Structure 1
Amino acid sequence: MNSEPKVAVIGSGSWATALAKILLNNEDSINWYFRSADNIEQFKRFRHNPNYLRGVEFDINRIQFYDDLNELVEASDILILTIPSAFLHEAFSKLTVPINQKFVVSAIKGIVPEYNQIVGHYLHESHQLPFERIGVITGPCHAEEVALERLSYLTIACPNIKRARDFGTKLDCEYIRTHVSDDIFGTEYAAVLKNIVAIASGIVHGLRYGDNFQAVLIANAIQEIKRFVDKVHPITRDIKSSAYLGDLLVTSYSQFSRNRTFGAMIGKGYTTRTAQIEMHMVAEGYYATKSIHEINETYKVKMPICDAVYNILYGNVPPAVEIRQLTNKLR
């Protein structure tokens, strides 16, 4: 008799914690990887993640914790990745257990900086994982609102639509609704780009631009995202759907957006280093900005917003100067 596939969460941040909460609505138990054995012990003692979403209490009898990634992979069939993209290659470089027969779902929304690759491409090329066994979780869904059980919509992208639907049933619950897509490249690149735009949104907020300009910025940004994903992976897609536009809107406007928060600090005069230290969280868009700039040297897509963020973060151009120049390029 075939048993149900075992689901594992890899990572211990806020989104990992939110996904674990969602999964336990439908799964009898899950596997969960923490890099720190001390954090696991604290979790078991207090029944919540010691560092993120502390208000979410878990039945620890339904969680098998691991601090050894190889042991977790060996014991699991479905792997959900939530490690920040900047640290994914380092973590997976220690992997000796093959993953090419697993179903691996990226919930990262970032680029692996060592390779300038979205997570799907990295898994395919560096770990010989077939694209049909790669999934992407995308859509407007902040961990903090999931913790509060506020209605949220997720898109599960995978070339194998049946796998996407089957995985979606593991997340569907009273406050989570899922849809499926076969656009793993477009959804993942869009999820990366919206983080860069959110930094821009934060910067202009920090510079005291108003809602009117914010609206113009985001209207131009969705066109910029469309130009890029259509160039990189030209298929028919509805850029206005929640997987693309919805995710862009929530990340650019929400109080929970770490990328917007990071950008606002830059706009107010913080250095990138100081902003990163004070946030105590990773803003994926910081790393993505450099990677997308380098990737676009090949594609040469017109991307004034992403270019402006790059010039501010990596070119040391004062935010006020760069954004003033950007205002002349938007419509």
Structure 2
Amino acid sequence: MFDVGKIAIIGSGSWATAIAKIVIEHTHDIGWYFRKEDKIEEFKRKGHNPAYLTSVHFNLNEIFFSSDINEIVEEYDTLVFVTPSPYLKDLLKKLKKGLHSKLIVTAIKGIVPDEDLVCSEYFHKAYNVPYENLAVIGGPSHAEEVAMERLTYLTIGCSDVDKARSFSEKLASNYVKTKTSQDVIGIEYASVLKNVYAIAAGMCYGLKYGDNFQAVLMSNAMQEMNRFLNTINPIERAIIDSVYLGDQLVTGYSKFSRNHTFGAMIGKGYSVKAAQIEMEMVAEGYFGTKCMKEINRRLHVNMPILDAVYNILYERINPQTEIKLLTDSFR
């Protein structure tokens, strides 16, 4: 079986911290890139991430911290990228080391802005990483629940099944169940769209639409997602699998969903700017909405929910008016 070698986490947010917790339970040795040196020093003093999932404590002897991305890339074989998608390009611009021989695992549920590419496509086109060395982590997986060791199901996507299985073994535990898939592109686009649909669900919650309508919204969202995935990557897939439907449901309904929270604030009358300032966290769906709209301008898939969220966030259409038009299109 393929050997994933030494694993490093690139990113310092809540999902990065959750993945670090999972991986280190197997390897007891990881690299961890933080952008800011002062955050590393604070982590070392406290024994936990000072900003995210502060209840999760680590054995510092099992972690090699660095704020130098090139040092991490040189020393580690498998690189798990967990940075917000809007910041990925700036991070990679610092690279002087090649990535083509590394196993690149993206746990980023977003699109690279200005490129309109999901992350695996960007690594392939901009850094010549072969598709067989590109993997993705998907599935319903709130970091907060991983921190509490609540049962979680993850799907590892990679065109090389052996590599997917090998990496999945570094995640599996009594509270993390794993399976593999070859639908890398489909998983990535689904993870982007589910954030957009979670914003829509949040908007409807803020506008006081009830559970009956939310169920119809989620049903239509999955039909819309399926139409898009079948256009962008027409392979056989079951849209009801947990990596698609499960991730959509947890993001659309959960109190831990920052995209739902962001949408709810918009529905209650917050401006986009005010909602972003108050949240103090990145709602990936805000950026994903614009990118998906631009991608769909050339594909012409029927996507009324995406269009409605875009009109509210970027065209400043009144949420009540736009959602009412959307409800009239549902059956």
* Structure-2-length-normalised TM-score: 0.99
Tell whether 2:260 aligns with 1:260: yes
- Name the structure 1 match of 2:274: 274
Helix, strand or coil at the partner of 2:25: coil
> For residues 174 and 27 of structure 1, what CA distance do their matches in structure 2 show?
16
Question: Partners in 1 of 2:40 and 2:125 — Cα distance?
Answer: 32
Distance 1:103 1:4, change over 3 A: closer
**Structure 1 counterpart of 2:62:** 62
**Is the contact between residue 140 and residue 250 of structure 1 (CA under 8 Å) also seen in structure 2?**
yes
Give the gaps of 5 or more residues in structure 1.
none
Give, in angstroms, the shift of residue 199 of structure 1.
Answer: 0.2
Alignment of 1:236-315 (within 5 A): 236-315=236-315
Matching residue's letter, 1:193 = L
Pairwise CA RMSD of aligned residues?
1.0
Distance 1:52 1:90 in 2: 22
Q: Return the alpha-carbon distance in structure 2 between the equivalents of residues 66 and 85 of structure 1.
A: 20
CA–CA separation in structure 1 for the residues paired with 2:320 and 2:35? 40
Deviations 1:196-226 (A, max 9, x none): 0000000000000000000000000000000
Deviation string, structure 1 residues 203-254 (Cα, Å, up to 9, x no partner): 0000000000000000000000000000001000010000100000000000
Q: 1:277: how far off?
A: 1.1
Change (3 A) 1:139 1:207: same
Q: Distance in 2 between matches of 1:212 and 1:248?
A: 17
Deviation, structure 1 residue 28: 2.2
Give the letter for the 2:327 counterpart: T
Q: Percent identity?
A: 54
- Equivalent position of 2:196 in the other structure: 196
Alignment partners' CA distance in 1, 2:155 and 2:248? 14
Task: State the 1:330 CA deviation.
Answer: 1.1
Aligned partner letter, 1:185: I
For residues 109-151 of structure 1, what are the alpha-carbon distances to aligned partners after superposition, in whole Å with 9 as ceiling and x for unaligned? 1000120100011000001001110000000000000000000
Q: Within 5 Å, give how 1:68-87 maps onto structure 2.
A: 68-87=68-87
User: Which residue in 2 is equivalent to 1:145?
Assistant: 145
Distance in 2 (CA, whole Å) between partners of 1:27 and 1:330 is: 49
Q: Which residue of 2 aligns with 1:183?
A: 183
TM-score by length of 1: 0.99
Say if 1:18 and 1:143, in contact at 8 Å, map to a contact too.
yes
Contact 1:89–1:114, Cα closer than 8 Å, also in 2:
no
Instruction: Write the letter of the residue equivalent to 2:209.
Output: Y
Q: Is the 8 A contact 1:221 1:305 kept in 2?
A: yes
Aligned counterpart, 1:112: 112
- Whole-angstrom distance in 2 between the partners of 1:273 and 1:162: 45
Counterpart-to-counterpart distance in 2, 1:273 and 1:76: 39
Deviation at 1:3, TM superposition (A): 8.6
Quote the Cα distance in structure 2 between the aligned partners of 1:273 and 1:120: 30
CA shift for structure 1 position 68: 0.4
Q: Distance in 1 between matches of 2:330 and 2:164?
A: 37
- The runs of 4+ residues in structure 1 deviating greater than 6 Å are none
| Residue equivalent to 1:96 | 96
Q: Which residue of 2 aligns with 1:132?
A: 132
Code of the aligned partner of 2:307: D
CA contact (8 A) 1:48 1:55 kept: yes
Alignment match, 1:234: 234
- State the distance in 2 between where 1:48 and 1:162 align: 33
> The residue matched to 1:328 in structure 2 has which SS?
helix
* Residues in 1 aligned to 2:15 and 2:195: alpha-carbon distance in whole angstroms: 15
Letter in 2 for 1:208: K
State the distance in 1 between where 2:106 and 2:4 align. Answer: 21
Rounded to whole Å, the distance in 1 between the matches of 2:3 and 2:159 is: 24
* Aligned partner letter, 1:286: Y
**Match of 1:48?**
48
Q: Aligned equivalents of 1:293 and 1:176: distance in 2?
A: 34
